[in-house]
Structure 1
Amino acid sequence: MTNLPVILFAAKPQRWGQYEAPLRAALADAGLGDATLVTEAAPETVDYIVYAPNSDVQDFTPYTRLKAVLNLWAGVEDVVHNKTLRVPLARMVDDGLTEGMVEWVTGHVLRHHLGMDAHIHGQDGVWRAGIVPPLARDRRVGVLGLGALGSACAKALHGLNFDVTGWSRSPKSIDGTTTTHGEDGLADTLARSEILVLLLPDTPGTQNILNARTLALMPKGAMIVNPGRGPLIDDDALLAALDSGQIGHATLDVFRTEPLPPAHPFWAHPSVTVTPHIASETRPGSASRVIVENIRRGEDGLPFLHLVDRDLGY
């Protein structure tokens, strides 16, 4: 390394307070403590952008020296198709984010598996005995999406002895988990999933993957857990399936519009649990180390990690 890089932090102002110290610490640990880390810089001087897609930086054309854009989020759907972005784009793949997602998913799958809501919300003097759930080995769980997060969740659920089937658009292999792919595999996975976890990216090929037709393939009364992306589900079709009893409950952490508008019917529906996009927050400490590792690699002439495939969109 010769000239130390200029790193632009481009995100909402409150994020700077969360990330400045962890990023500076990670830079120091990587031998880059003298690098310039700023929230404002002349575009032609910037080597790397630490980026949130909702930042003010939307036109990358002026950044003529830019080597890479390092996304703060796992999701890249709001930047991957930006035609002004012509340098490598790295998504956030962070052990802390993965661990948080596994914890959230396993918690809600267990909640639905055990029928905990009947007792949590039924504090009305009624002794609700005699309803015994199956053991985990007899509960069929499906996971749509077998990337880093989906694979980790499938492994964790298998470790709890659930009968897990995972689906992806292309063939994948996960120890202990039955995997399927393609249209036939999707139909088979849906047909057996008493609890379904959605961890697909938001792409044209995954939008509305749960719709009136595919929801009808699921076992009657199945539960849906969506910490993936809001557009994976046709909202109106889900509400109709909930009203008919085809779907027993939906726990939703992500939505087409966020925050979820107060008048949206999900809020008042008795068979919907809304959580405010908290399934797995990026942790500044661990995320900063991931970002700085890519900066170090860029400065040392090594390939970047976790690059986005622009054609696939993730």
Structure 2
Amino acid sequence: MTTTILFAAPEDAWDAYRAPLTEALDATGIDYRLARDIPAEEVDYVVYAPSSGLTDFTPFPRLKAVLSLWAGVEKIVGNPKLTVPLARMVDDEGLTQGMVEYVTGHVLRHHLGMDAHIVNPAHAWVNKAPPLARERPVTVLGLGMLGRACARQLAQIGFPVTGWSRTPREIEGLRCLSGSEGLSEALAGAQIVVTLLPFTPQTENTLGATELAQLAEGACIVNPGRGQLIDDEALLAALDSGRLGHATLDVFRIEPLPQDHPFWDHPKVTVTPHIAAETRADSASRVIAENVRRGVTGEPLLHLVDRDAGY
């Protein structure tokens, strides 16, 4: 029996995914049909991007699972019209590696004080070497797939890394804390903080004025997770007061970031346009194809979303 797969994403995504997804599905050996215009009553799987505009899954009587092209699922996880399993995108070859490279690059930038040398109009000769990595405490908030990968890479370089998550985790080689008391301990004295939590009602404003005040004087923030994790006004106040040294922000409450937002022109803020961890069509296609194969053969799907937890 032919397995029918509806590609529910914008046309530019179809242009990028059509060839690699076809190749990946061909490699599974299953009999399938992949298209953007399959009648709802014939659809077995939906390859999905929230930007597709599809929100009502009730017209799909045969639907077995929705396979998201995005790592974040906050725009769909609470949808009452989606009752079948939902799998998020976990792509170690592309998305995870991209995040590791982004986080490592910006952590090292702040650790080494590179901005002072890249932009030095006064030609100041300040002959002061930065500390070694082992002298720079780093805290990673969020120990999911992306957080773990980034924390391990930073620890491998030599940073003393503390990881924090809402629920307890044990990760070899990392100091792991959890819960509200654990958050205070994880933030106390941290000189660089990386935020990689998912966005849920429980994680919104994880870094507010109280939490930012617990960091080391002059600490830097790197946020490639979700814009809602940080209280914008509290962040700006901490930067303006000198309490924080810099914030590198890749994600925002409104995207694209409005042209009049104060982040754009703030001397202690670096804005990057949500580029930290782009999904790569070739490697992501292999993830999608493997989940379709698993569904066809009756194996458990990978990367299923916990609806209660929200990720």
Structure 1 unaligned runs (5+)? none
Where does residue 9 of structure 2 map in the other structure?
A: 11
- Supply the distance in 2 between the matched residues of 1:129 and 1:216 (Cα, whole angstroms): 29
Describe the superposition over 1:10-34 as per-residue Cα deviations: whole angstroms up to 9, x where unpaired: 11111000000000000111113x4
Where does residue 110 of structure 1 map in the other structure?
A: 108
Q: CA RMSD in A?
A: 0.8
Q: Which of 283, 286, 291 matches 1:289? A: 286
Q: CA deviation at 1:152?
A: 0.5
Where does residue 82 of structure 2 map in the other structure?
A: 85
Q: CA deviation at 1:56?
A: 2.0
SS of 1:250's equivalent in the other structure is: strand
Q: Which amino acid aligns with 2:104?
A: T
- Supply the distance in 2 between the matched residues of 1:4 and 1:274 (Cα, whole angstroms): 46
Describe the superposition over 1:157-193 as per-residue Cα deviations: whole angstroms up to 9, x where unpaired: 0000001000011111122211111111100111121
Q: Which of 18, 21, 24 matches 1:23? A: 21
- Supply the distance in 1 between the matched residues of 2:53 and 2:152 (Cα, whole angstroms): 38
Describe the superposition over 1:201-254 as per-residue Cα deviations: whole angstroms up to 9, x where unpaired: 000010001111111111111000000001001111100110001111000000
Q: Which amino acid aligns with 1:141?
A: V
Q: Which of 129, 133, 137 matches 1:140? A: 137
- Supply the distance in 2 between the matched residues of 1:106 and 1:174 (Cα, whole angstroms): 19
Is structure 2 residue 257 aligned with structure 1 residue 299? Answer: no
Q: Which runs of 4+ in 1 moved over 6 A?
A: none
Describe the superposition over 1:105-136 as per-residue Cα deviations: whole angstroms up to 9, x where unpaired: 000000000000011111x2513322221100
SS of 2:164's equivalent in the other structure is: strand
Where does residue 97 of structure 1 map in the other structure?
A: 95
- Supply the distance in 2 between the matched residues of 1:10 and 1:305 (Cα, whole angstroms): 20
Where does residue 244 of structure 1 map in the other structure?
A: 241
Q: Which amino acid aligns with 1:14?
A: D
Q: Which of 195, 210, 216 matches 1:219? A: 216
Q: Which of 150, 159, 163 matches 1:162? A: 159
Q: Which moved further from structure 2: 183-192 or 67-76?
A: 183-192
Could you tell me whether the CA contact under 8 Å between 1:106 and 1:153 is conserved in 2? Answer: yes
Where does residue 65 of structure 1 map in the other structure?
A: 62
SS of 1:269's equivalent in the other structure is: coil
Q: Which amino acid aligns with 2:238?
A: A
Describe the superposition over 1:283-308 as per-residue Cα deviations: whole angstroms up to 9, x where unpaired: 00000000010000000011111000
Is structure 2 residue 237 aligned with structure 1 residue 233? Answer: no
Could you tell me whether the CA contact under 8 Å between 1:119 and 1:128 is conserved in 2? Answer: no
SS of 1:311's equivalent in the other structure is: coil
**Share of identical aligned residues, percent?**
63
Q: Which amino acid aligns with 1:252?
A: L
**Aligned length in residues:** 310
- Supply the distance in 1 between the matched residues of 2:80 and 2:106 (Cα, whole angstroms): 39
Could you tell me whether the CA contact under 8 Å between 1:142 and 1:192 is conserved in 2? Answer: no
- Supply the distance in 2 between the matched residues of 1:175 and 1:100 (Cα, whole angstroms): 23
Where does residue 121 of structure 1 map in the other structure?
A: 119
- Supply the distance in 1 between the matched residues of 2:282 and 2:209 (Cα, whole angstroms): 42
Could you tell me whether the CA contact under 8 Å between 1:155 and 1:174 is conserved in 2? Answer: no
TM-score when scaled to structure 1?
A: 0.97
- Supply the distance in 2 between the matched residues of 1:219 and 1:127 (Cα, whole angstroms): 26
Q: CA deviation at 1:53?
A: 1.1
- Supply the distance in 1 between the matched residues of 2:147 and 2:119 (Cα, whole angstroms): 30
Could you tell me whether the CA contact under 8 Å between 1:97 and 1:281 is conserved in 2? Answer: yes
Q: Which amino acid aligns with 1:15?
A: A
SS of 2:247's equivalent in the other structure is: strand
SS of 1:167's equivalent in the other structure is: strand
- Supply the distance in 1 between the matched residues of 2:185 and 2:125 (Cα, whole angstroms): 34
Describe the superposition over 1:138-162 as per-residue Cα deviations: whole angstroms up to 9, x where unpaired: 1100000000000000000000000
